[in-house]
């Protein structure tokens, strides 16, 4: 291959290495055109629109009480849901990888339901289940706890939406943990809990972190499943995506866009932070 | 010694049962019960009302629009996914990792924001708003806007399935075909496509499920005109907000059925790929 490239009389651009395969220009050209038209140009409109507000206007939106409350509700509920999913997702992944029980394959397939079930369907169903007279809500109501139409309902919806992420990121890594390593640790006198804490957990921790952050990021932007169960009370159970819609309905395009930009920036910061953390843990693992 | 080894590599029976119990309770509460509840609510007033709800003209037009949107969005993203994966997996060029990151971008954007960007472009106050109005073209609050928003939210699905798969497969087989005199298209149809068919199907299924079920993005650009610009998820919302719960859950049950079929086909594809020994996912 290298010989072929070297002997080739054709001028190879420095942009790409030579290849005998055809179709590069067509494939990359179409990819870039489609990417620009569908994603990049529309997303850039977001930043240009925000720029029309100026720094002062942007800052006013950012420090508005209702906007701040919505951001707080969105992030706290997303964080709570991601923590719940990290904990139970780990147990589910463990059970699916390590144990056998009847119906396991169906249970395994069912884990992806939140990816396949439209969010609006999830929303109306969860709202019905967790309403004060609903199948689940009645037990909470008996304890004096209101789930639907409160921030607690938002956590329920976001837990549903984020459920597959931790399971699906941890599962393959857990499958790859070799039995030999565990046996070695055990034969050196480690108890079961020690083996998990010192051998298995460090191996799956980066995957757990990835799943956690994917669930968290997904929850922050979620709209469809939340609005039915949240009650949508300003300052209390109003999420940021809903506030964007509310501002759009009042034709406050700049205000809506400013919130969208804030959410985007926070999501990107989150993803960057997680990447850095993963890089750090993988380096620690190598050493 | 044998006993301590056994204890240290396996949990005790009690712990095993506890874990299985916790996992199944969690999944039952959050997945099984909601799935059952959709159908239970839909049929709660009997079959007759269920059928009546589905035969409504507005429900029908919502079903049709959902199929139109997915029918356009999925093939568009399929062609894009193949082109992007071909360029990225079979060639070396600068800026490749940036390109992969940009392709994933729509996943990091809230559905509502995905709709918002098209309002900013095509809305009355938008960049192209005046031009579109002058030429009497309606994109927003009309079918084209719904299709565009659907394409945006499902943009990465097929590409991100194919890119790692084709990267893992390398390019030796294609190079062999080309050096034996096959044309580019022949190489693609006879060598590449058979190699990626399971991954391709997997991506298409997930892309279609999301395209048919998308709510947030479509809700922002649709304008909610009954019988005109309502997709099935939007129709569910309207019926639910009108306290017409039986009808809402009847339409919702169709979407839940779609989800169940999606999961079944997805499991089947995974099983087939495993059985034939062909990889489904890349490294």
Q: What is the pLDDT of residue A8?
A: 46
Average pLDDT value over all residues in chain A: 88
* pLDDT tens per residue across span B10-50: 788 889 999 999 999 999 999 999 999 999 999 999 999 99
Q: Does B228 touch chain A (CB under 8 A)?
A: no
Residue window 169-208, chain B: list those with CB within 8 Å of chain A: 171, 174-175, 178-179, 183-184, 187-188, 206
The whole-angstrom distance between B222's CA and the closest CA on chain A is 12
Residue window 24-83, chain B: list those with CB within 8 Å of chain A: 24, 26-27, 29-35, 37-38, 41, 76, 79-80, 83
Residue B232 has pLDDT above 60, yes or no: yes
Alpha helices in chain B (DSSP H): 2-9, 13-27, 33-42, 47-55, 57-90, 96-108, 111-122, 129-134, 143-153, 156-169, 172-179, 184-187, 193-213, 216-222, 232-241, 245-276
Structural domain boundaries in chain A? 16-51, 54-286
Sequence-ordered list of residues with C-beta below 8 angstroms from that of A246, at least 6 positions apart, any chain: none
Residue A12 has pLDDT above 60, yes or no: no
Q: CA angle, corner B133, sides to B128 and B136, nearest 5?
A: 125
Cβ-based contacts of B187 with chain A (< 8 Å): 21-22
Report pTM.
Answer: 0.90
Go through chain A and tell me how many residues it has: 287
CB A252 within 8 A of CB A106: no
Q: What is the pLDDT of residue A96?
A: 96
B8 → closest Cβ in A45, A105, A191:
A191
Instruction: Round to whole Å and give the CA distance between A73 and A194.
Output: 38
Taking the alpha carbons of A34, A40, A42, A45 in that order, is the dihedral positive or negative? Answer: negative
Instruction: Round to whole Å and give the CA distance between B4 and A132.
Output: 50
Mutate to test the interface with A, among B129, B177, B216 (most CBs of A within 10 A): B216
* pLDDT tens per residue across span B53-111: 999 999 999 999 999 999 999 999 999 999 999 999 999 999 898 898 899 889 889 99
pLDDT category of residue A67 using cuts at 50, 70 and 90 = very high
DSSP state of B16: H
CB B240 within 8 A of CB B162: no
B152 and A38: CB-CB below 8 Å?
A: yes
Residue B6 has pLDDT above 80, yes or no: no
Q: Does B109 touch chain A (CB under 8 A)?
A: yes
User: Comparing C-alpha atoms, which of B149, B162, B12 is closest to residue B81?
Assistant: B162
Furthest CA-CA distance within chain B: 85
Q: What is the pLDDT of residue A102?
A: 92
Cβ-based contacts of A112 with chain B (< 8 Å): 263, 266
A31 and B80: CB-CB below 8 Å?
A: yes
Instruction: Round to whole Å and give the CA distance between A201 and B67.
Output: 45
A23 → closest Cβ in B8, B184, B206:
B184
Sequence-ordered list of residues with C-beta below 8 angstroms from that of B62, at least 6 positions apart, any chain: B230, B231, B232, B234, B235, B251
Q: Does A209 touch chain B (CB under 8 A)?
A: no
* pLDDT tens per residue across span A179-220: 888 888 888 888 888 888 888 998 899 889 889 998 999 999
Q: Does B215 touch chain A (CB under 8 A)?
A: yes
A54-286 in CATH: which number? 1.10.3720.10
The whole-angstrom distance between B48's CA and the closest CA on chain A is 21
B87 → closest Cβ in A28, A96, A122:
A28
Q: What is the pLDDT of residue A230?
A: 93
What average pLDDT does range B154-169 have in this prediction? Answer: 94
Q: Does A107 touch chain B (CB under 8 A)?
A: yes
CB B24 within 8 A of CB A108: no
Q: What is the pLDDT of residue A188?
A: 87
Pick the residue with more confidence: B177 or B127? B177
Pick the residue with more confidence: A86 or A176? A86
Q: Does B258 touch chain A (CB under 8 A)?
A: yes
Q: CA angle, corner B250, sides to B244 and B251, nearest 5?
A: 95
Q: What is the pLDDT of residue B129?
A: 86
Residue A284 has pLDDT above 70, yes or no: no
What average pLDDT does range B200-212 have in this prediction? Answer: 96
Give CA A254 to chain center in angstroms.
27
* pLDDT tens per residue across span A41-52: 999 999 888 888
Q: Name the residue of chain B whose CA is nearest to A34's CA.
A: B80
Q: What is the pLDDT of residue B2?
A: 42
């Amino acid at each position: 291959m290298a010989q072929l490239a070297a002997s080739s009389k054709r001028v190879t651009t420095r942009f790409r290495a030579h290849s005998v395969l055809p179709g590069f220009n067509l494939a990359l050209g179409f990819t870039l055109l489609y990417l620009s038209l569908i994603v990049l140009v529309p997303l850039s409109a977001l930043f240009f629109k925000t720029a029309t507000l100026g720094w002062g206007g942007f800052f006013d939106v950012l420090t508005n009480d209702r906007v701040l409350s919505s951001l707080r509700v969105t992030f706290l509920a997303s964080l709570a849901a991601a923590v719940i999913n990290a904990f139970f997702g780990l147990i589910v992944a463990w059970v699916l990888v390590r144990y056998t029980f009847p119906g396991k394959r169906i249970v395994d397939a069912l884990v992806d339901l939140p990816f396949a079930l439209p969010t609006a369907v999830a929303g109306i169903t969860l709202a019905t289940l967790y309403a004060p007279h609903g199948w689940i809500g009645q037990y909470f109501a008996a304890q004096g706890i209101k789930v639907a139409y409160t921030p607690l309902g938002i956590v329920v919806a976001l837990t549903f939406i984020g459920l597959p992420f931790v399971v699906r990121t941890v599962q393959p890594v857990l499958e790859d943990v070799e039995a030999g390593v565990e046996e070695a640790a055990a034969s050196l006198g480690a108890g079961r809990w020690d083996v998990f804490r010192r051998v298995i957990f460090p191996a799956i921790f980066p995957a757990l972190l990835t799943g956690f952050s994917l669930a968290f990021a997904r929850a922050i932007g979620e709209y469809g499943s939340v609005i039915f169960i949240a009650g949508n009370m300003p300052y209390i159970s109003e999420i940021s995506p809903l506030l964007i819609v509310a501002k759009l309905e009042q034709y406050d395009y700049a205000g809506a866009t400013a919130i969208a930009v804030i959410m985007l920036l926070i999501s990107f910061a989150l993803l960057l932070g997680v990447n850095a953390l993963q890089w750090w843990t993988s380096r620690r693992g190598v050493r | 010694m044998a006993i301590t080894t056994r204890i240290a590599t396996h949990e005790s029976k009690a712990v095993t049962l506890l874990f299985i119990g916790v996992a199944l309770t969690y999944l039952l509460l959050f997945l099984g019960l909601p799935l059952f509840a959709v159908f239970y609510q839909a049929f709660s007033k009997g079959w007759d009302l269920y059928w009546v709800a589905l035969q409504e003209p507005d429900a029908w037009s919502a079903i049709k629009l959902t199929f139109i949107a997915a029918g356009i969005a999925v093939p568009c993203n399929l062609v894009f996914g193949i082109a992007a994966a071909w360029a990225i997996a079979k060639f070396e060029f600068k800026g490749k990792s940036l390109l992969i990151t940009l392709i994933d971008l729509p996943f990091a954007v809230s559905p509502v924001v995905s709709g918002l960007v098209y309002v900013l472009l095509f809305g009355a106050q938008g960049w192209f708003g005046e031009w579109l109005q002058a030429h009497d073209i309606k994109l927003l609050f009309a079918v084209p806007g719904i299709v565009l928003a659907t394409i945006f939210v499902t943009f990465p699905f097929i590409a991100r399935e194919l890119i790692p798969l084709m990267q893992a497969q390398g390019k030796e087989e294609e190079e062999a075909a080309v050096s034996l005199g096959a044309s580019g298209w022949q190489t693609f149809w006879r060598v590449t496509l058979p190699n990626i068919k399971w991954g391709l199907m997997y991506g298409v299924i997930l892309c279609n499920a999301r395209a048919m079920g998308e709510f947030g993005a479509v809700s922002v650009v649709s304008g909610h005109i009954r019988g005109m610009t309502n997709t099935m998820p939007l129709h569910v919302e309207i019926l639910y907000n009108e306290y017409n719960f039986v009808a809402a859950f009847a339409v919702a049950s169709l979407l839940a059925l779609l989800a169940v079929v999606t999961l079944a086909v997805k499991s089947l594809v995974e099983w087939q790929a495993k059985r034939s020994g062909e990889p489904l996912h890349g490294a």
